[in-house]
Amino acid sequence: MSRTVVIAGGGTAGHVFPAIAVAQELRRLDPELEPVFVGVDDRLEATLVPEAGFRLHHIEAASIPRRLSPRLATVPFALRRSVRRCAEILREERAGAVVTFGGYVSFPVARAAWREQLPLIVHEQNAVPGLANRVAARWADTVAVTFPGSADRFRHPERTAVTGDPVREDVCGLDLEGARAEARVRLGLDPDRTTLLVFGGSQGARRINQAIIDAHERWELAGLQVLHAAGRSAYDEVAPAWAAARDAHPGPPGQVVPFIDQMADAYAAADVVLCRAGATSIAELTVLGLPSVLVPYPHATADHQAANAAALAAIGGATVVADADLDGAQLVAAVQPLLRDPEARATMARAARAFGRPDAAANLARLVLSHLGGRS
């Protein structure tokens, strides 16, 4: 029986981190099994997967334009090439099962798994499934979902299983209280100040970046500090804007950085988090029990971030502010009451933790192992 599982999920942290978490759990449950990844050489997986200690095969994955364009005519040919290459990889690796996590790199891998008659498990992180997963689900033995309500969005809900969204080991095992002071020091922050963590994804979020800078002179809270990850592509614009805001008004101290590599430290440092409502962010916030203010990305496919945020807010695990409504004044109005009130934070933290699934990686890994070596 083959002891190789091929994993695909790339392009964004929301796909890559859950995939790595499951690979780590597979390796823990079965040390003789080798998880192997398929991805694209210019996306996040090209760095994150090797850093996590896993092999990565590169393919040319074709993205499907969402609007009519001349490039649309080339997509079928590119997809066929990608599927052929993925099938070659599956045969080279003597794969026993395939797991995909969404994103356009997943489609050719899932199609190749169907062609090679291999067990296929598709994981959907969001409340509303994306295009690649909706298509791949037709060939899947099992579709693992994060939100129970997602099952009815697939053609065969009887093939779904609720696993939760896998969270990477360094975050899932974090002791927030025990790590807080040292994490703040490592990040260049004051260990004794109440801390607001702000981020918008690896490339940043323009509306969030503008709002947190505009909020600088509006805080009415002593002892606050801000850790702001502006995004790699936005940092060169945001850093001077922060400097100008601080020159104009003393405001709370803090750090602005392009990207935070050690998110476990950032979460440990935070009392409250302001961020988008991607599935991975929500999974990490709820596993840790961190109070949050969520600003769903308004252009997400099928508005899935709004659905993600609504599911958590419905049980009191987060506050939601629409992107269109977010400015400095609205940001302060949403965040400051939480920062001021430890009991409100504790109540929200309990609700968030009840929503979290720290066993998600193990659930999905066990599901993969149950299919390994042949169709169920």
pLDDT tens-place string over residues 82-138: 899 999 999 999 999 999 998 878 889 999 999 999 999 999 988 888 888 888 899
The pLDDT score that the predictor gives to residue 375 is: 46
pLDDT at 78 exceeding the cut of 80: no
Report the distance separating Cα 359 and Cα 158, nearest Å. 22
The pLDDT score that the predictor gives to residue 69 is: 54
pLDDT classification of 62: cutoffs 50, 70, 90: low
CA distances from 243 to 53, 197, 229, 263, 307 (A): 39, 18, 15, 24, 36
Joined together, the tokens standing for residue 238 give 């945001």
What is the pLDDT averaged over residues 141-147? 92
| Contact partners, residue 81, CB within 8 Å, separation at least 6 | 60
More reliable by pLDDT, 192 or 81:
192
* Among 188, 190, 161, 197, CA closest to 288: 197
Is 189 strand, coil or helix?
A: coil
CB 169 within 8 A of CB 27: no
The pLDDT score that the predictor gives to residue 25 is: 95
* Among 243, 198, 251, CA closest to 222: 251
pLDDT classification of 186: cutoffs 50, 70, 90: very high
What is the pLDDT averaged over residues 211-224? 95
Report the distance separating Cα 263 and Cα 290, nearest Å. 13
Q: pLDDT tens digits for 342-355?
A: 999 999 999 999 99
- Specify the CATH class of 170-355 in words: alpha beta
Q: pLDDT tens digits for 273-322?
A: 999 999 999 999 999 999 999 999 998 888 889 999 999 999 999 999 99
Mean of pLDDT over the chain: 90
Q: What is the CATH number of domain 4-167+358-371?
A: 3.40.50.2000
Rounded percentage of the chain residues whose pLDDT exceeds 70? 93
Report the distance separating Cα 331 and Cα 17, nearest Å. 28
Rounded percentage of the chain residues whose pLDDT exceeds 90? 70
Region(s) of the chain under CATH 3.40.50.2000: 4-167+358-371, 170-355
Q: pLDDT tens digits for 320-329?
A: 999 999 999 9
pLDDT classification of 63: cutoffs 50, 70, 90: low
